[in-house]
Structure 1
Amino acid sequence: MTRRVVLAPDSFKGTASAAEAAEALARGWRSVAPGDEVVVKPMADGGEGTLEAFEAAVPGAERVPVTVRGPDDRPVDAAWLRLPDGGALVELALASGITLCDPLRPLDAHTVGFGQAIAAALDGGATRLLLAIGGSSSTDGGVGALAALGARFLDADGWPVPNGNRGLGAITRVDLSGLRERPTGGAAILSDVTNPLFGPFGAAAIFGPQKGATPELIEPMERNLARLVRAMPDRAAFADAAGAGAAGGTGFGLLAWGAHMAGGSAAVAEAIGLSAALEGASLVITGEGRFDGQSAAGKVPSEVGARADAAGVHVALVAGVIDADVSGFAASASLTDLAGGGAPAMADPRRWLEAAGAELARSFR
């Protein structure tokens, strides 16, 4: 009997894109069960690989190249995605992402390039925006992006403040009069992060260390963000909103612009037609680089799992590292275990993803 198997992994950050991961799993599965119908549906959660997932899933989508100012001020060849309905998707990771910073710049990385990419999409006639904000390199509260869209963040002498979190500490006045208007169809923020801007679960405390911040930098970084909010009194309430702390506070900046939170994994799943692909399937395989306690909080495996449960489909998990309970999955495979260690798994992830696909196919024969 021919079985239908759906492959819907997220990217394995820094080692394999979602599309590469899905294709490697497919090769492994077909090597054991060549007669099965394998459906490849790469997923994303609003971070790295979101544009690629939409591009592969939406017929007629067109990638539009754009050169922007990267998070460390070097030029970056990025892109935005023109959608056939007139909308546009802009991915922060391509323009202002953490993988573009070497070394990391916790105080000085910025989102100017992301704003420039948004402006390019607006100039290209976008009637609505989907803004994927995962994978940020900075904690600038979205100021860089808003400045690229026409806002002015000024010091006591009336000069624009420097880019990055460090510059926020000099803000005394914010002028939003020149800020570009949102498109008629609005702007939706694709992110599954629900953290507020401040506090122990805020942008600096939770995500600052990932961006290179040492413990002694967290408090001053939060003070700088607070100075930004005080300078925008009519937007201060957004600091407590779910998702305001996403992407180093870029969530706050976009909410202040008038964008709204839309969820990441769910939006991507809708775009790629995941629920329809699961109809009649025997199994769906999902995964990500590290499966841990945060994975159940709206990340790709939880979204895929919820849709599979609704469709009555078994779910298997593949991850580079598994560091949480997997009893809810029908089967699981760890690349680290298959490769005999984390280093070899990261050195050749596609090889071990293929091995994982073959192992799972054998277990479901």
Structure 2
Amino acid sequence: MRVVLAPDSFKGSATADEVVHALAAGLRRADRSIETVARPMADGGEGTLAAFLTATAGAVRHRLVVDGPAGPARASWVELPDRTGVVELAAVSGIELLAGSLRPWDAHTIGVGQAIAAALDQGVERLLVGIGSSASTDAGTGLLTALGARFLTAEGRPAAPGARGLRSVAAIDVSRLRELPVGGVSVLCDVQSPLVGEAGAARVFGPQKGFTDAECRRVDADLRMVATLISRALPAARPNAPGAGAAGGAGFALSAWGGVMQSGAAAVADRVGLVAALADADLVVTGEGRFDGQSARGKVAQFVRDAAAEAGVPVAVVAGQVSMDADTSGFAQVVSLTDLAGSGVDARRDPTRWLRRAGRVLAERLRP
């Protein structure tokens, strides 16, 4: 039996590579005849850099120090042999960099812009920017600032970074905003939310950044005001476009700059050769840390399920936790590490152990 392993990372617990290796160990321990094929995935969020770096011969990691969401942070971007630069928001301005201490008003995306600027300085001809797992809700004003834009108060001073400064923005100067690379910018995005409104950046994702319900409503109003100003300065800005609300509005800012939204999972799948690997597979296993109602909306599990269905290959999902609202249709098997371990705490404490157990469980269920 040939099994393709194509999981996302289990955010904060295990990288996609670690998930692949643990599942493979469990499958082979249960049945030595099983052949595993590693295709670690990502959707633009955490693990995107690693996926491109692992899948591309000759890729180079460039290291730098950026202004992270909680101060200076060591970061990197990846240069591919075809002069494409890959920047991952999660690695430079991600919520995991806050180490559990949320900064809803002051976290920003300046580091993303600095990493993009570094790639441009290196002479890349195209950019891929993954924008999942953000720490901030700043409408991308931080990244645009790092690329040369100025967000000014009524007194002509620079507005404070992060959501805190949005309400004070009275004018925007884009005269020194850097130009896009000749091959353009693809924004790898896993959500379809607009910037503002009930389904927007603040109202949907604000609570996980640390805002109260009342603060979410206030920030939504501030985002709407800033979006109006940015739209006047940058005609490509579309606050209601799908993905504009991704990463606290970083999707809006990058598209206003001229970037084009693209499925992050599709871009990574193309790079790692997922479809080719499925051609003679007997099973594909995908997974993520939390499998819930959002998983069927452009994330890795849904993408792999659809690709497997097109190839006529059954698909299983392994997740740290499976929510009650998760859409499990189309999956031949669903395995929860929380169920195997007895609790989410125990599953997160030793994910490798329970991923190996999940591999063994799948192998046992596959026996005729």
Settle same-fold status: TM greater than 0.5: yes
CA RMSD of aligned residues (A): 1.1
Q: Is the 8 A contact 1:131 1:189 kept in 2?
A: yes
Residue number in structure 2 paired with 1:214: 212
* Aligned equivalents of 2:148, 2:111: Cα separation in 1: 13
In the other structure, the counterpart of 2:92 is 95
Q: Does 1:4 align with 2:9?
A: no
- In the other structure, the counterpart of 1:75 is 72
Q: 1:210: how far off? A: 0.8
**Aligned-partner SS, 2:263:** coil
Deviations 1:228-265 (CA, angstroms, capped at 9, x unpaired): 12222434751011100000001111111010101111
Q: 2:302 matched to 1:302?
A: yes
Distance 2:314 2:56 in 1: 26
Runs in 1 of length 4+ with deviation above 3 angstroms? none
* SS, match of residue 319 in structure 2: strand
Contact 2:296 2:327 in 1 (8 A): no
Taking only the aligned residue pairs, the percentage that are identical comes to 56
Partner Cα separation in structure 1 for residue 291 and residue 342 of structure 2 = 18
Question: Residue 89 of structure 2 contacts residue 134 of structure 2 at CA under 8 Å; is this kept in 1?
Answer: yes
Q: Which residue of 1 aligns with 2:249?
A: 249
1:352 partnered with 2:340: no
Q: Distance in 2 between matches of 1:223 and 1:213?
A: 14
Question: Residues 12 and 18 of structure 1 are in contact (CA less than 8 Å); yes or no, is this contact kept in structure 2?
Answer: yes
Query: Is residue 40 of structure 2 the alignment partner of residue 42 of structure 1?
Result: yes
Structure 1 residue aligned with 2:240: 240
Residue 150 of structure 1 contacts residue 176 of structure 1 at CA under 8 Å; is this kept in 2?
Answer: yes
Task: Spell out, residue by residue over 1:68-99, the C-alpha distance to the aligned partner (whole angstroms, 9 max, x if none).
Answer: 01112x21111000001110100001100001
The number of aligned residues is: 362
How many Å separate the matches in 2 of 1:190 and 1:325? 23
Structure 1 partner of 2:328: 326
Quote the offset at 1:35 in angstroms: 2.2
Paired residue type of 1:310: E
CA deviations 1:323-349 (Å, max 9, x no partner) are: 224242111211001001111001111
The 5 Å alignment of 1:124-139 reads 124-139=122-137
- Indicate which of 356, 360, 363 corresponds to 1:361: 363
- d(CA) in 2 for partners of 1:156, 1:116: 26
| Aligned counterparts of 1:259 and 1:325: Cα–Cα separation in 2 | 31
| Mean CA deviation greater in 62-71 or 226-235 | 226-235
Any idea what the Cα deviations from partners look like across 1:89-115, whole Å, max 9, x if unmatched?
Answer: 000011000011241111110000111
Tell me the amino acid that sits aligned with residue 50 of structure 2. E
Matching residue's letter, 2:337: L
- Which residue is 2:273 aligned to? 273
Separation in structure 1 between the aligned mates of residue 142 and residue 196 of structure 2, nearest angstrom? 19
Amino acid at match of 1:283: L
Structure 1 unaligned residues grouped into runs of 5+? none
Q: Note the C-alpha offset of 1:66.
A: 1.0
Contact 1:166 1:224 in 2 (8 A): no
Residues 293-327 of structure 1: CA deviation (Å, up to 9, x unaligned): 11111111111011111111110110111122424
Q: Secondary structure at the match of 2:284?
A: strand
Inter-partner Cα distance in structure 2 for 1:230 and 1:295: 31
Partner of residue 315, structure 1: 315
Alpha-carbon distance in structure 1 between the residues aligned to 2:221 and 2:168: 11
The yes-or-no answer on 1:19 pairing with 2:17 is yes
Task: Indicate the larger mover: 232-241 or 86-95.
Answer: 232-241
CA distance in 2, matches of 1:125, 1:27: 42
Deviation at 1:154? Answer: 0.5
CA apart distance, 1:63: 1.0
For 2:125 and 2:294, how far apart are their aligned partners in 1? 34
Quote the Cα distance in structure 2 between the aligned partners of 1:176 and 1:327.
47
CA 1:325 to 1:244, structure 2 compared with 1: closer, same or farther past 3 Å?
closer
- Kindly state the Cα deviation for residue 152 of structure 1 after the two structures are TM-superposed: 0.5
Structure 2 unaligned regions, length at least 5: none
1:59 Cα offset (Å): 1.4
Which one-letter code corresponds to 2:345 in the other structure?
A
Residue type of the alignment partner of 2:352: R
In structure 2, distance between residues paired with 1:351 and 1:257: 45
Q: Aligned partner of 2:131: which letter?
A: I
Q: Which residue of 2 aligns with 1:189?
A: 187
Q: How does 1:198-213 map to 2 (within 5 A)?
A: 198-213=196-211
Written as runs of structure 1 = structure 2, the 5 A alignment for 1:132-171 is 132-171=130-169
SS at match of 1:294: helix
Q: Pick from 341, 360, 366 the counterpart of residue 339 of structure 1.
A: 341
Map of 2:285 onto structure 1: 285
Task: Give the CA deviation at 1:36.
Answer: 2.1
Q: Which amino acid is the alignment partner of residue 266 of structure 2?
A: A
**Taking structure 2 as the reference length, what is the TM-score of the superposition?**
0.96
> What letter is aligned with 1:248?
G
Partner of 2:223: 225
Q: Is the 8 A contact 2:88 2:131 kept in 1?
A: yes
* Partner Cα distance (1:191, 1:233) in 2: 21
TM-score normalised over the length of structure 1:
0.97
**Which one-letter code corresponds to 1:286 in the other structure?**
T
